[in-house]
Structures are given as structure tokens and as C-alpha cells.
Structure 1
Amino acid sequence: MTAVSYVLLAVAIVCEVGGTVALRMVSAGSRLWWFGVAAGYLVAFTLLGVVLAQGMALGVAYGIWAATGVALTALISRVFFKEPLTWVMALGLALIVGGVLLIETGA
């Protein structure tokens, strides 16, 4: 596994979060955002497949993907959509990130 795998995983995460944010925009009434949803998820899952083909373990890749995606989505939704982010939610995010770090170091 190389640094390229981690870069591709990071791009996949950004695309997945972008697709999710576009999905939120669709729910606000703009149908043109469906293109962003489709493109974001298509690129994200394609790159995740490439990362897995390069040898990254599924548990590690998906753990990093899930934790980073949840954290970024929560922060973006707070900043751009004024959705709540309480201290309990922040604690939950910290626990998720901590769990993924344990999985990564255990691998």
C-alpha cells in the first residue's frame, strides 16, 4: 500500500461528501444538484474500488472513509446549512475517529 492509495482514498471521501452535500441541495428544491449527487458517488465508489484493488484492507479503507465522511458532513452541514452540532454529537464524532485510529494502528 502506497501514499497514492491514501491520496485516492482522500479524493474518494471528498467526492462522497460532495455527493452527500449535493443530495442536501436536492432536498432544498433544486433538481440540477442530482448531477452532483450522481457524479460525486460514482467517482467516490470508483476510487474506493481502486484503493481496495491496490491492497488496502476493506476494514481500514471503509473505517477511514466512514469516520472522515461523517465528520466532514457534520461540519459542512453546521457551517452551510446551520444544522445543529452539539457537544454530544462532537463527542460521538471524536469516538468514531478514535475507533478508526485504533483500527488503523491495529492493521
Structure 2
Amino acid sequence: MIGWLLLIGAILLEVLATICLRMASVGGSKKWYAGVAAGYIVSFSLLSLTLRTGFPLGVAYGIWAATGVALTALAGRVLFRERLTRTMVAGIALIIAGVLLIELGAAH
């Protein structure tokens, strides 16, 4: 259970850091880079701690990367009104299916 909580934290902080990166590039304020650095450092630290709980590397990294991509695309749509095409939505659905398959495969 603690591994899942660490992994969720790692995913959320990675997405937050990426949002800060977008804010830094749009707004021009250098203050956002502190959020970028802190978010990525803490995210990778939490991912490392997730692995220490016994999570397999392929499962933890696969879920972290795929979920981060999907959530970042959704955050871009909501926060920055970026375009989200049907193809992108299909990709997000495939990511969700892939994460489920990875988890189901690791459980056996």
C-alpha cells in the first residue's frame, strides 16, 4: 500500500513540475523554475522510494511514465486550453488500458 501512495505522489509531482515548466515558458517568470526543479527532484525521489518497497522496475516506471503523460495532456487541456483531439483521447484510453495490463501482468 505504501508503494502505491509513493508512486501516486511521484506521478502527481511530475505532472506539477511539468505544469510549472509550461508556466515558466508562457509567463516568463523565473520563479516557476523553482517548482520545476523541486517537483522533478521530489518526484524522482518518491519513484526511488517506490522501488525500495519492492515494486518491480518495469511496473513502477511504466505506470509513472504513462500516467504522467495522460495527466499532463489532460492538465494542458484544462489549464491552458490546449487542443485535445480524438486521437489524443484514444491514446489516453490506450495508456489506461496499458497500465491496467501491466498491473494485471505483474500480479501473476
Same fold at TM > 0.5: yes
Matched residues, percent identical?
60
The normalised TM-score by structure 2 is: 0.94
User: Structure 1 runs of 4+ off > 3 angstroms?
Assistant: none
Cα pair 2:3 2:53 within 8 Å, conserved: yes
Count the aligned residue pairs.
105
Distance 1:27 1:65 in 2: 24
Cα shift readout 1:25-81 (whole Å, capped 9, x = no counterpart): 111111100000000001000010001011100111011111211111111100110
Matched, 1:5 2:3: yes
Distance 2:8 2:61 in 1: 12
Structure 2 residues without counterparts, runs of 5 or longer: none
What residue is the counterpart of 1:17 in the other structure? Answer: 15
Distance 2:67 2:98 in 1: 12
Shift in Å at residue 88 of structure 1?
A: 0.8
What residue is the counterpart of 2:58 in the other structure? Answer: 59
What residue is the counterpart of 1:94 in the other structure? Answer: 93
Superposed CA RMSD in Å reads 0.8
Distance 2:15 2:35 in 1: 11
Distance 1:54 1:80 in 2: 34
The normalised TM-score by structure 1 is: 0.95
Structure 1 residues without counterparts, runs of 5 or longer: none
What residue is the counterpart of 1:70 in the other structure? Answer: 69
